[in-house]
Amino acid sequence: MASGNLGIKIKPQSHFRINKHTNYSKELWVNVLVCLIVPFIVAFGLEFIARGLKEAMYFTKEYPKSFLLNGFLMMALLSPAIFARRAHLAAALWALPWALASFASYVLSKVRGVPFIWSDLYSMGDGMSIASQYLTKPIILRLGALIVLGGVLLVVFYKLKFKRYTIHWSKKLFIFFLLIIVGVGGISYLKGQKVVQIIEWDTMQSYKRNGFAYSFMGSFLSTFRKAPEQYSKETIEEIMAGMNEAPVDDEDMPNIIMVQLEGVFDPTTLKGVTYSGDPIPNIRKYLNSTYSGRIQVPTLGGGTARTEFEVLAGINMDYLSPGEIPYNSGMVNKGPIETLAYIFKDKGYATTGIHNFEGNFYSRHTAFKNLGFDKFISMETMNNVDRSKDYPKDDVLVDYIKKSLESTSEKDFIFTIAVETHGPYNYEYDPLKTKSPIKVISNAYEKRAIDQLQNYIDRLHGTDAFVGALADYIDSLTEETILVVYSDHYPALDVLEDVGSEDKYQTPYFIMSNMNNIVKRQHHDMEAYQLGTEMLELIDMSGGIMNNFHTTYREEEDYLVKLEQLQYDMLFGKKYSTHKKNLYEPTIIQLGLEQVEIEDVTYEGNQIVITGKGFTDSSHIFLGDKLIETEFVSETKLIGQVDKEENKPVVIKQLGRNDKAIVASEAFKKAE
């Protein structure tokens, strides 16, 4: 009996263990299968958020290998969730930042025509300061829907309970490595099949072709500086040795005024649209009668500082991170970078930057000291700025260019950044309330797109008038002066969505002299980073390693290969081109046309009266560390409201974006 009872007990127990093991293995492999499938669902979800259901389905169908590439990437990235107690919830939380990034890409694609890239994180403060201007109804509705959907999914995942069973850490490790191997292996295989097609000069098309997740991750990885192949001391020395010897400069050097226009293009090139008059009569006049053409710019719809940096430094932005803003990414803060400003400063010029917008936007107020500027005149240091529209009008720039020329005894290099035509452009237009000098006429587009174009044309007309007034002023000067005018990028307009990518990255420029000693030539196109060199050659001047390089090598077959080598060496490498030395020192930059100074402080009842110079409507009185309610009276007088007279130091600060001080006076305190 004993042995029989023992046999009966053992047999069911043995059967039970085998059953449990079988179910356990089945459950384990079902979960592995889920882990292999879910990343592809997440990848599709990211495409849906970034571009909409129709385009996401088109992408999956038209480029299935690219879709698989994004799925394999998400598989590798989500794999650590397997170690969490509730892996499904951990995976959902890990996917959430990707969903937010995907939505940011949707928004930026709509407002500037370029998707979200890693370098945008460096400029997040600048973007947030103007974000409210871009929040249209469709964007708000989609954001609301995304928040609701995301919240519901997180609650579902949190509440969702699966049958629990313990998975040994070794099996979790096995699943983790399986996901990594499949994910990374899939990526490597597909890349080997030439699935990825990077379009350096068109980020939007790259994202559309390669998918959001892979493209965004690529923009992150590109921030890690990597030396070009064959970069070495010998390579750089060979490049330097091959440069032509710089010619001797003429002692009779002209003033140089460069003007960067915001989002300007020729609207008469739009098909299906006519106008009651020419939207850009002044710009067109000089495009047709001077040295002119188009420049290839590195950005679309935004990212002004990218074109700005190419022109100033002669640097090809293709060899930096996608979408990188050098002023914000930390590159410029590392030390001086050779620019036109430094080159002219070495020749004895006074160098001035002028911008009728916030001085700390793109951190120009700190970056410009490493770009060779003696002065930076921003909106906070200006008076008589017309801010009645979305962005300040450009007409004030003529006055400050004139004042800058008159305030120095040296020759002047003045780099001016206009802003009036900055986006976004309103979709609402009421012809009864708005007096538009140039009317848009079209039945080829939706009304909201035409209304948006009309609002752009209204601003463009003001910028064109500024260009005309500036050119007239320069023509009136007896001192030789060169004017270079160019546009930073195409505007983000709905009517431009069908314009070819190549056209949208080419903007107009012209170069003129008030002495008419520059050859008249039209349709001469070039890269933005070659514009400074072209100008120097036209006036028989030279200077700077990059300009000398462009002059020497730009017609050679390996020009771009050598350019990448040289600019890497100068910006990030061993500086073999300068014998491991810094050629320039940071400037002691003055913010504003003149310094802010307090000459006297008096109390009149509950008012504190400040007299001095350099005051603007951005000036604020600080009594000690306390901000006082301030009334701007004139450039020499401010009045503040106080409760009582206090013998504390008084400081005047010009406040910019986020109430950050752009410039401050010396502390003033009367002797007791």
HEC per residue, 165-211: CCCCHHHHHHHHHHHHHHHHHHHHHHHHCCCCCCCCCCHHHHHHHHC
**Do residue 552 and residue 634 come from a single domain?**
no
Tokens 């519901």 found at:
152
Assign residue 410 the CATH number of its domain.
3.40.720.10
Assign residue 655 the CATH number of its domain.
2.60.40.10
**Do residue 329 and residue 191 come from a single domain?**
no
**Do residue 522 and residue 643 come from a single domain?**
no
Lowest mean pLDDT among 272-276, 409-413, 616-620, 660-664: 660-664
Count the Cβ atoms, other than its own, within 10 Å of residue 448: 14
- Residue 46 CA to residue 56 CA, distance in Å, equals 9
The last residue of one of the domains, among 590, 610, 643, is: 590
Residue type, 313: A
627: containing domain: 594-664
| Residue 552 clears pLDDT 90, i.e. is over it | yes
| Residue 36 clears pLDDT 90, i.e. is over it | no
Residue type, 608: I
Output the six-digit token pair for 97: 């930042």
**Do residue 560 and residue 642 come from a single domain?**
no
What percent of the chain has a predicted confidence (pLDDT) above 70? 85
Contact 521, 292 (CB under 8 A): yes
150 assigned to some structural domain: yes
pLDDT score, position 100: 87
**Do residue 488 and residue 611 come from a single domain?**
no
| Residue 262 clears pLDDT 90, i.e. is over it | yes
Contact 332, 326 (CB under 8 A): yes
- Tens digits of residue pLDDT in 555-592: 999 999 999 999 999 999 999 999 988 899 999 999 99
2 assigned to some structural domain: no
pLDDT score, position 328: 81
| Residue 463 clears pLDDT 80, i.e. is over it | yes
244 assigned to some structural domain: no
Output the six-digit token pair for 503: 């056209």
The last residue of one of the domains, among 555, 590, 625, is: 590
- Residue 422 CA to residue 262 CA, distance in Å, equals 6
245 assigned to some structural domain: no
**Do residue 598 and residue 586 come from a single domain?**
no
- Residue 340 CA to residue 371 CA, distance in Å, equals 8
**Do residue 286 and residue 186 come from a single domain?**
no
**Do residue 427 and residue 447 come from a single domain?**
yes
pLDDT score, position 167: 61
43 assigned to some structural domain: yes
Count the Cβ atoms, other than its own, within 10 Å of residue 112: 22
558 assigned to some structural domain: yes
**Do residue 44 and residue 177 come from a single domain?**
yes
Mean per-residue pLDDT, 425-436: 87
Q: What angle do CA 550, 205, 54 make, to 5 degrees?
A: 170
pLDDT score, position 144: 66
**Do residue 579 and residue 606 come from a single domain?**
no
Q: What angle do CA 475, 341, 377 make, to 5 degrees?
A: 70
Average pLDDT, the chain: 86
The last residue of one of the domains, among 539, 567, 590, is: 590
295 assigned to some structural domain: yes
43 conformational bin, left if phi > 0, alpha if psi -120 to 50, beta if neither: alpha
139 assigned to some structural domain: yes
**Do residue 415 and residue 531 come from a single domain?**
yes
pTM of the model: 0.81
**Do residue 122 and residue 193 come from a single domain?**
yes
pLDDT score, position 234: 96
HEC per residue, 362-376: HHHHHHHHHCCCCEE
Contact 357, 420 (CB under 8 A): no
Pairing outcome for strands 255-261 and 274-275: unpaired
- Tens digits of residue pLDDT in 366-398: 999 999 999 999 999 999 999 877 899 999 999
Question: Number of structural domains, the chain?
Answer: 3
User: From the CA atom positions of the chain, what is the Rg in Å?
Assistant: 31
Sheet with 661-664, edge to edge strand ranges: 626-628, 619-623, 650-655, 661-664
